[in-house]
Chains A and B, each alone.
Chain A
């Protein structure tokens, strides 16, 4: 409805879509990229691209899955660029003696974030969509345009890898 309204010249309609999805997309982008500024860039780029491509929007899909797909691609692009720029400096942090501190409330998020960054991009995106965004397997399949079965099997691999990374970083269940 909002997309149709926007295409019919209602400027406020797209503003409503920005308001509805910007927070969620920012959070997803934040977990996929390295930080806040990159997340802002990815979110903004996603909405700009969506606005630009709106006339070719396929009404067979939901706006939700379409914008998520664009945002994920933007975030993964930025993350990839940062990784190339960072080069060797971007290697995983060695296991240190301050792991106990990382379990603290404030540090937990950063600790998980660093572990996430060691996953392959598609695995990271799946963990983010399922565990941080709380999306169903069906919604994720729609966003990634792959069968639900594929989502489950890739997520299984991503979780196994994440657990391995966490344990390598000294995390103990």
Chain B
């Protein structure tokens, strides 16, 4: 063990601040090296010498003398500087509390901003959003659901009567690439299709989906025959190939089919 390390550990031992690991190291060193033991006695003696020197009693007049000197001085006044105020407020014990308060404030303000921003949406859209991707069309044989397309592009209205699902797509302005409504489900059949758009529209049916496309502004109405009383249809609206609305449609509760 280096002499400096030995002395440091001896002082730590004398002060009672030595760790268990260091104590073991020191004990091993003391047991093996007689010079270390001599050094231990030296450190211990200095520590004891310093401890044996007691406090000195201050002169009885000390406090009075200080107070007399202070009495002749102008009384200190609080300085209303911004820095002093910040220093006083930002004492360590307050820093954590202030940080939490700021975090709380930010979270609260963000939540408020989100709620306020939501006021711009129609209640119908809020309801469809609230219920998530699953919409149920009525319980008494007919029902409807209307979803606003983003950017005021138009609306999609779904209504069911008996075994027929009517899909009304209203497109407010022409979009390059067209607006497409796809209803996916097994056994669907196109009952009728009407395109009231300036540049026309079309409908395609396959084994598991019916796809109606509006090429310009206007109105498309597609009536689709539902083969069964149960199951979930997927309804998707895409603008220029990009999906903007997607809903699940539970047909089981549509009565009168």
Contact = CB atoms under 8 A, between A and B. Distances in A.
A binds B: yes
Interface of A: 4, 6-9, 11, 14-15, 18-19, 22-23, 26-27, 30, 36, 39-40, 43-44, 47-48, 51-52, 54-56, 58-60, 108-109, 112, 127, 131-132, 156, 159-160, 162-163, 166, 171, 173
B62 to A, nearest CB: 6
Nearest to A9: B75
B58 A26 contact: yes
B52 interface: yes
B58 A162 contact: no
B39 to A, nearest CB: 10
Interface string B1-36: 000100110010000000000000000000000000
Contacts of A7: 76-78
Contacts, number: 109
A55 B77 contact: yes
Tell me whether chain A's interface is mostly helix, strand or loop, or mixed. helix
Contacts of A30: 56
Interface stretch (B83-91, B108-116, B184-192): B83-91
B122 interface: no
Given A27-B56, A27-B58, A166-B46, A55 B84 contact: yes
Interface stretch (B66-74, B154-162, B194-202): B66-74
24 contacts: A9-B75, A14-B70, A18-B70, A19-B63, A22-B66, A26-B56, A27-B55, A30-B56, A52-B73, A52-B76, A59-B87, A59-B90, A60-B92, A108-B49, A108-B53, A109-B56, A131-B51, A156-B4, A159-B7, A159-B11, A163-B46, A166-B49, A171-B49, A173-B42
